[in-house]
Amino acid sequence: MEKHYNYSLKKLNTFNIDVKAKIFTEVNSTEDIEALISDDTFLVNERLVLGGGSNILFTKDFDGIVVKIANKGITVVDEDQDFVYVKAEAGEVWDDLVDYCVMNNWGGLENLSLIPGQVGASPIQNIGAYGVEIKDVFHSLLAVNIFSGEKREFFPDDCRFGYRDSVFKNSEKGNYIIFSVVFKLKKHKHNINVDYGNIKDECAKLNITNPSIQDIRKIICSIRNAKLPEVGEIGSAGSFFKNPVVDYDKFVELKSKFPELVSFPDNDKVKLAAGWLIDKAGWKGFREGDYGVFPTQALVLVNYGNAKGMDVFSLGMKIIEKVRDMFGIELETEVNVL
């Protein structure tokens, strides 16, 4: 394991923020990860486990060790009449896994097409899009406790998945490095989920009445490409905020003031579209210098070139304040701010 000092992270975070890590190293195998956690440099310094850097906003240099996870491999570990169990190493690019599974006609991941980042991070915030979250297809993961060196398998109940949430963002935050994740995917009779966003409209436009998982992937890729900043072109970390979940009384109060409010049922509560609130508060398309709010999706804060992480963060705080004043709603960041 080679260590680099004062190492630029600009190309390793999708916000393209120009910061440096005091120490940087890359791990390419489970053995590398095991060696790393018994290395003093890792234990005595502040640590950051880095996947694709697509859910992180750096506001300053990282005064510790950044470990880029780069172990690769996708294998079928089990199979029965209806399901295939696919294991992917943490360093696999998420969308390469989705592509591979869709090509093999294994159903379950297609609605999560084109989400940036790596497999190892997918359970951390229970990634979700177009009506599907990874908890819907998650079988288990293997991780190592960085303090005890103990390897542990986590099953769905152990992960305590919630909306953009899991045990790894709460009681186990910073305690584990994930080696690999196993997904339980359907070999046939796929659950085609077209209920979210404008997937149905796109199917109609293309005259598709019975979409396959391959059709769903294609449609979602084209919707996402049209709506979201392209990674590598414009810096962002996707949704900067979570959609707030409110109780029914609050929803009724807001709906009477703002009849066009965009919302979705969420068990006995209501989820509000944070993008709509931000747009209504006047921020959509805002730009100052190199930072701003993406014109086609108000949930996404962007770096158009050489913005500082702190500028983006301050903009986020101003948006939170305005939304609080206007709607009495407290937005929470989805992005990890460091």
- The answer to whether 92 is a known catalytic residue is no
What DSSP state is assigned to residue 242? P
Say how far apart CA 69 and CA 67 lie, in whole Å: 6
Say how far apart CA 274 and CA 252 lie, in whole Å: 17
- The answer to whether 38 is a known catalytic residue is no
Q: Determine if 292 is a binding residue for ligand FAD (CB under 6 A).
A: no
Catalytic residue among 47, 54, 89, 164: 164
Q: Determine if 90 is a binding residue for ligand FAD (CB under 6 A).
A: yes
Extended beta strands in the chain, E state: 3-8, 20-27, 46-50, 56-57, 62-69, 74-79, 83-89, 128-129, 132-133, 138-145, 151-154, 176-186, 235-239, 245-246, 263-266, 269-272, 287-288, 291-293, 300-303, 336-337
Q: Which is nearer to ligand FAD, 232 or 282 (CB)?
A: 232
Say how far apart CA 271 and CA 242 lie, in whole Å: 10
Q: Which is nearer to ligand FAD, 129 or 274 (CB)?
A: 129
Q: Which is nearer to ligand FAD, 15 or 283 (CB)?
A: 15
Binding segment toward ligand FAD, per CB under 6 A, in 20-28, 224-232, 265-273, 304-312: 224-232
Q: Figure out which of the listed residues 9, 203, 220, 237 binds ligand FAD, where binding follows CB under 6 A.
A: 237
Phi, psi angle pair for 315, to nearest 5°: -60, -45
Q: Figure out which of the listed residues 97, 144, 146, 228 binds ligand FAD, where binding follows CB under 6 A.
A: 228
What tokens appear for 43 in the block?
A: 């234990």
Q: How many residues bind ligand FAD (CB under 6 A)?
A: 34
Residues 166-173: contacts with CB under 8 Å, at least 24 apart = 166/123, 166/124, 166/125, 166/126, 168/123, 168/124, 169/124, 169/125
CA-nearest of 36, 39, 69, 64 to 54 is: 69
Q: Determine if 69 is a binding residue for ligand FAD (CB under 6 A).
A: yes
Instruction: Find the shortest distance in angstroms from Cβ 330 to ligand FAD.
Output: 20
Q: Determine if 108 is a binding residue for ligand FAD (CB under 6 A).
A: no
Q: Figure out which of the listed residues 238, 275, 292, 309 binds ligand FAD, where binding follows CB under 6 A.
A: 238
Q: What is the CA radius of gyration of the chain?
A: 20
Phi, psi angle pair for 303, to nearest 5°: -115, 110
Instruction: Find the shortest distance in angstroms from Cβ 240 to ligand FAD.
Output: 10
Q: Which is nearer to ligand FAD, 14 or 254 (CB)?
A: 14
Q: Tokens 């059709």 map to which residue?
A: 215
Q: State which H helix or E strand residue 226 sits in.
A: helix 213-227
Q: Figure out which of the listed residues 167, 178, 270, 298 binds ligand FAD, where binding follows CB under 6 A.
A: 178
- Cβ atoms of 162 and 66 within 8 Å: the answer is no
Q: Determine if 56 is a binding residue for ligand FAD (CB under 6 A).
A: yes
Binding segment toward ligand FAD, per CB under 6 A, in 214-222, 228-236, 279-287, 314-322: 228-236
Which amino acid would we find at residue 42?
Answer: F
Q: Which is nearer to ligand FAD, 71 or 308 (CB)?
A: 71
**For residue 307, what are the CA distances in angstroms to 5, 21, 313?**
24, 18, 11
Instruction: Find the shortest distance in angstroms from Cβ 217 to ligand FAD.
Output: 14
Q: Figure out which of the listed residues 28, 45, 212, 336 binds ligand FAD, where binding follows CB under 6 A.
A: 336
Instruction: Find the shortest distance in angstroms from Cβ 115 to ligand FAD.
Output: 5
Q: Determine if 121 is a binding residue for ligand FAD (CB under 6 A).
A: yes
Q: Which is nearer to ligand FAD, 281 or 302 (CB)?
A: 302
- The answer to whether 233 is a known catalytic residue is no
Q: Figure out which of the listed residues 25, 111, 113, 236 binds ligand FAD, where binding follows CB under 6 A.
A: 236
- Cβ atoms of 24 and 3 within 8 Å: the answer is yes
Residues in contact with ligand FAD by the rule CB under 6 A: 14, 48-56, 69, 90, 115-118, 120-122, 124-125, 127-129, 176-178, 228-229, 231, 236-238, 336
Active-site residue set = 164, 239, 334
